[in-house]
């Protein structure tokens, strides 16, 4: 029942999952008897809180804080924190819902959660970011724990923010324990976590291409976003001899047909934290399209010619018209680094065209999977080498792809990885919920 217009994205995500479950419920009506649908769409717990902090001018600022603990059938709640002015309870609910099925697909013992704030990190000093993070953790700390709820980063939350959040947790509790993932390598972080979502999305694309006898080698790749996921997608694409030619941020799109200069991109985004337009100072031959010049019905990045697309910025950044343009331009493989980047109409178009389409909940699960590897290392007081983490990530992504493809085939729609991902993820959670009784 759509009772609140404030939950648009949640309804979009839930509708997709529920539509996909139709054939499963026809074959396995006992899910009805356990009211699994009614239970799974209802979060176990939603926490809303006030976050007060002081800016550099001494002015008191107030933001909203959120944590949703959606489903713990498979393990402790796990999911990132997003700091972005667009964050609302509805956005956190959609992200938490997606997280349940994504985490189930990894095969690891993690439940679904998500959180964040409408705080805008842009233009804030380091001191302001720190004071905000400390204020945020001052409430959050009482709701999390290494075996109850373990948040990670998401948009606007990287190693710097995780550091300030972790420091405050330690100050409040006196405990040095794995209550966050994405930590720095010297203080409990896992090697390979920072890279994992992007690398995983590329491995997923590789798996989809392999299924039809192709590789990424020589493929021209379109990437949106210029943050954590986009940067490490580009890095892995170079390693596999593909050619990433675009990236974007909230101000515009960059197109460098000779290939994005990755070292410069890292410098601009990880260190200087400036707009992509600055790229042109070093590469005047590249082109930059400001958002003011975007097509009115979509995003400039999807109108550029390429072979494979990696949406890695945010939800609903790829419209139906964008999808049509991608298909017209010959793109026949899409791996989603972001959560729900394609609108429902765009997804329908990809599925109708029967291209290789990897939905976010499958293709970007490498991040949360590696977060669980970080939890495993923290829990056993161990530190694994990169080779071990990367090998596991590769294996997990291949496993997710296999599950999605096998489940799609089982339900007579072999190219539909959306159907495969939703049914496979749902079955694992639903079966665990039934085993654990009515709770």
What 3-state class would DSSP assign to 357?
A: strand
102 is in an annotated binding site: yes
As given in the structure block, the two tokens for residue 98 are 């997606």
| Residue 55 burial (CB count, 10 A) | 14
> Residue 112, annotated ligand binder?
no
Q: Shortest approach of ligand NDP to residue 3 CB, angstroms?
A: 26
Q: Rounded distance, CA 353 to CA 332, Å?
A: 9
Q: Which is nearer to ligand NDP, 149 or 154 (CB)?
A: 154
Task: Answer yes or no: is 224 a known binding residue.
Answer: no
Q: Which long-range contacts (CB under 8 A, 24 or more apart) does 30-39 make?
A: 31/430, 34/430, 34/433, 34/434, 36/430, 36/433, 36/434, 39/433
Beta pairing partners, 312: none
CB of 168 to ligand NDP, least distance (A): 21
**Cα distance between residue 246 and residue 234, in whole Å:** 9
* CB-based contact 234:223 (threshold 8 Å): yes
Min. distance of Cβ 50 from ligand NDP in angstroms?
A: 24
Which residue in the list 93, 114, 236, 361 is annotated as catalytic? 114
For ligand NDP, the closer of residues 146 and 158 by Cβ is 158
Asked if residue 99 belongs to a known ligand binding site, the reply is yes
Identity of the residue, 75 or 311, whose beta carbon is nearer to ligand NDP in the bound complex: 311
CB of 313 to ligand NDP, least distance (A): 3
Q: 226 Cβ partners below 8 Å, 6+ apart?
A: 247, 248, 249, 254, 265, 268, 269, 276, 313
Distance CA 315, CA 396 (A): 24
Instruction: Give the orientation angle of helix 193-210 with respect to helix 228-239, to 10 degrees.
Output: 50
CB of 335 to ligand NDP, least distance (A): 12
Q: Are 94 and 340 in contact (CB under 8 A)?
A: yes
**Is 371 labelled as part of a ligand binding site?**
yes
Are the C-beta atoms of 286 and 279 separated by less than 8 Å? yes
Residue 251 or 354 having the CB closest to ligand NDP: 251
**Residue 114 designated active-site:** yes
Closest to ligand NDP by CB, 249 vs 390, is: 249
Collapse the DSSP code of 230 into the 3-class scheme (helix H, G, I; strand E, B; otherwise coil) and give the result. Answer: helix
In the complex, minimum distance from the CB of residue 295 to ligand NDP, in angstroms, rounded to a whole number = 15
Closest CB to ligand NDP: residue number: 227
182 labelled as ligand-binding? no
Q: Which residue has the tokens 């990897």?
A: 358
Q: Which two tokens stand for residue 400?
A: 């997710």
Q: Is 213 annotated as a binding residue?
A: no
Alpha helix positions (H), 240-277: 262-266
State in angstroms the smallest separation of the CB of 80 from ligand NDP. Answer: 6
What minimum distance in Å lies between the beta carbon of 157 and ligand NDP? Answer: 7
**CB 179, CB 145: distance < 8 Å:** yes
- Run of H or E residues at 111: strand 111-117
11 vs 32, 56, 94, 190, CA distance in Å? 20, 39, 8, 35
Closest to ligand NDP by CB, 102 or 427: 102
Instruction: Kindly list the residues in this chain that would bind ligand NDP in the complex (CB under 6 A).
Output: 86, 153-156, 158, 197, 225-229, 249-251, 312-314, 337-339, 364, 367
Of 139 and 277, the one with the shorter C-beta distance to ligand NDP is 277
Q: Closer to ligand NDP by CB, 339 or 422: give it.
A: 339
Q: Which of 365, 361, 366 is nearest to 389 (CA)?
A: 366
User: Which parts are annotated binding residues for NAD(+)?
Assistant: 197, 228
| Residues assigned a catalytic role | 114
The annotated binding site is made up of 78, 99, 102, 153, 197, 228, 371
Binding site, annotated residues for substrate: 78, 99, 102, 153, 371
């Amino acid at each position: 029942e759509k009772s609140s217009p404030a939950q648009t994205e949640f309804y979009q995500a839930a509708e997709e999952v529920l539509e996909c479950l139709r054939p499963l419920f026809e074959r396995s009506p006992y899910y009805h008897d356990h009211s699994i649908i009614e239970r799974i769409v209802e979060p176990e717990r939603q926490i809303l809180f006030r976050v007060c902090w002081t800016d550099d001018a001494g002015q008191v600022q107030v933001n909203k804080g959120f944590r949703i603990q959606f489903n713990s059938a498979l393990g402790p709640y796990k999911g990132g924190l997003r700091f972005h002015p667009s964050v609302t309870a509805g956005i956190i609910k959609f992200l938490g819902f997606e997280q349940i099925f994504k985490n189930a697909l990894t095969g690891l013992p993690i439940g679904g959660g998500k959180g964040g704030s409408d705080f805008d990190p842009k233009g804030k000093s380091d001191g302001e970011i720190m004071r905000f993070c400390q204020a945020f953790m001052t409430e959050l700390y009482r709701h999390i724990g290494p075996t109850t709820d373990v948040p990670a980063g998401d948009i606007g939350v990287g190693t710097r923010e995780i550091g300030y959040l972790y420091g405050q947790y330690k100050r409040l509790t006196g405990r040095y324990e794995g209550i966050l993932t994405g930590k720095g390598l010297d203080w409990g972080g896992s090697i390979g976590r920072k890279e994992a979502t992007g690398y995983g999305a590329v491995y997923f694309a590789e798996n989809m291409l392999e299924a039809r006898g192709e590789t990424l080698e020589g493929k021209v790749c379109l990437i949106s976003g210029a943050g954590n996921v986009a940067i490490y997608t580009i890095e892995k694409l170079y390693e596999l001899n593909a050619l990433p030619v675009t990236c974007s941020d909230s101000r515009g799109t960059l197109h460098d047909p000779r290939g994005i200069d990755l070292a410069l991109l890292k410098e601009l985004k990880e260190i200087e934290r400036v707009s992509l337009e600055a790229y042109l100072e070093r590469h005047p031959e590249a082109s930059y399209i400001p958002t003011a010049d975007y097509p009115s019905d979509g995003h400039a990045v999807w109108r550029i010619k390429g072979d494979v697309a990696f949406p890695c910025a945010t939800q609903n950044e790829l419209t139906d018209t964008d999808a049509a343009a991608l298909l017209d331009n010959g793109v026949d493989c899409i791996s989603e680094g972001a959560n729900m980047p394609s609108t429902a109409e765009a997804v329908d178009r990809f599925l109708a065209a029967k291209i290789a389409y990897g939905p976010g909940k499958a293709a970007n699960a490498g991040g949360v999977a590696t977060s669980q590897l970080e939890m495993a290392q923290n829990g056993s007081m161990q530190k694994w080498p990169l080779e071990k983490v990367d090998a596991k990530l590769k294996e997990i992504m291949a496993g997710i792809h296999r599950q999605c493809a096998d489940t799609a085939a089982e339900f007579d729609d072999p190219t539909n990885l959306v159907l495969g991902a939703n049914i496979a993820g749902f079955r694992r959670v639903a079966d665990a919920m039934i085993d654990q009784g009515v709770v």
